[in-house]
Amino acid sequence: MARQKPPLIQPAADPVLPDPDVISGREPTVQVQLQRIPVTQALGETSFIPVCEPSLDGNELEYVTEAIRTNWISSAGRYIPEFEEKFAAACDAEYGVACTNGTAALHLTMAVLGLEPGDEVILPTFTMIATPNCVRYTGATPVLVDSETTTWNFDLNQVEDAIGPKTRAIIPVHTYGHPVDMDALNELADKHGLWVVEDAAEAHGARYKGRRVGSLGDAACFSFYGNKIITTGEGGMITTNNEQIAELGRNLRDHAFSTERHFWHRYVGFNYRMTNLQAAVGVAQTEKLDDYVAARRHNSALYSELLAKIDGIRTPPEAGDVENVFWMYGVLVDPDVFGMSRNDLREALAARGIETRTFFIPIHFQPIYHAQYEGQSFPVAEAFCANGMYLPSASSLTDSQVRYVVAAVGEIASAV
Ligand SMILES: *Cc1c(COP(=O)(O)O)cnc(C)c1O
């Protein structure tokens, strides 16, 4: 008689949240408008404005065609080293290691650092799930810290307090494109002998004291997912000035084949290779990086100028000697002043054809992590989660679309 097979993966239980309303459930349905409200006229025929979309208006098609014509479509081919060189140079970094996605770039880097169970890595609770997951994949433990309201990045005083004998590394996340205060962080890390790995997945082209993110720690990880500032469909890259990290990353990306003897493996590697097709898109996108950054900064400045006239909407920060690239144009809704909650505002915008997205749900609220952080509180991240949302943020957004979105917010505010 056949015996029962072991159970498949089981889901984690939902946490009991202090205020369940913090997490909105269902996404509002975005209506495609046909000239229903007066401001729509600014947009012409239809007015569906997506929260984000890629721009593919450079040499993408030409380079991809070349890759196909020459039969180089897998993980060898000239676009891969070219993309690595050009993107690393755009980050003021010496080396680039292209891989399958941003999460793979983070995991590869954690593997290169040799993390093991028992090791700790400090990172913000207010981030996307890949940041703690890459630590977990190695068996090490993410240690969470809260954000600061001035930059929306993690609070360096709390980072310092979180450093202990098991700490091995710190992952600063340049939240929504705003660089972390890297000089202060590096000083702290140097004092304690810790690795610094930038999670720059949202910050392509951002500047800190004139220097590009991607070269400001021991290594940095980028994502080229479809909604990132530049995209390869799916893709990622490690950038670094550390030759050893680059070499190990390159080796682990490709099953850690030994150089002296084929089919001989001294590390547990991965197949995280990028294809020449993706890299071809990446080269074309890198050529446009400065244009997209300029567009995002232009749109954000216009949004912030227009939104300043509406009470109860906090616009995104740019604090210190930095250039935020506003990957997502995030705002915080103060329900008491605005007269309506973030969730209700999202519904009202959706009814006007405007797609929005809520901020991240903090890591300590996640079913897979909450038990580990029982009793710890992160009030700033929790307030971001309750009140934050992104307005449409694509590089291709036009001035009239920005004006339309702000006019809609204004109309909604004056109707309550
Ligand atoms: C997008 C993102 C990632 C993951 O990138 P993928 O390419 O989707 O794997 C990691 N960290 C942050 C902060 C991100 O926003």
DSSP letter (8 states) at residue 22? G
Residue 297: both structure tokens together: 């900064």
Instruction: Please indicate whether residue 393, judged by its CB atom, sits closer than 6 Å to ligand 1.
Output: no
Which ligand 1 atom sits closest to the C-alpha of 202? Answer: 15
Write b or e for each residue in 325-340: b if 16 or more Cβ atoms lie within 10 A of its Cβ, otherwise e: bbbbbbbbbeeeebbb
Residue of 100, 121, 128 with the most ligand 1 atoms within 8 Å of its CB, for mutation: 128
Ligand 1 nearest-atom number relative to CA 131 = 11
Q: 131 with 361: CB under 8 angstroms?
A: no
The chain-wide mean pLDDT, for the chain, equals 94
| Statement: residue 34 has pLDDT above 60 | no
The pLDDT of residue 9 is 80
| pLDDT tier, 29 (very low <50, low <70, confident <90, very high otherwise) | confident
Convert the pLDDT of each residue in 380-408 to its tens digit: 999 999 999 999 999 999 999 999 999 99
The predicted-structure confidence for 195-244, as pLDDT tens digits, reads as follows: 999 999 999 999 999 999 999 999 999 999 999 999 999 999 999 999 99
Question: How far is 391 from 406, CA to CA, in rounded Å?
Answer: 9
Instruction: Please tell me the least confidently modeled range out of 164-168, 261-265, 274-278.
Output: 261-265
Determine the Cα–Cα distance for residues 248 and 274; give it in Å rounded to an integer. Answer: 16
Could you tell me which residues are beta bridge partners of residue 257? Answer: 265
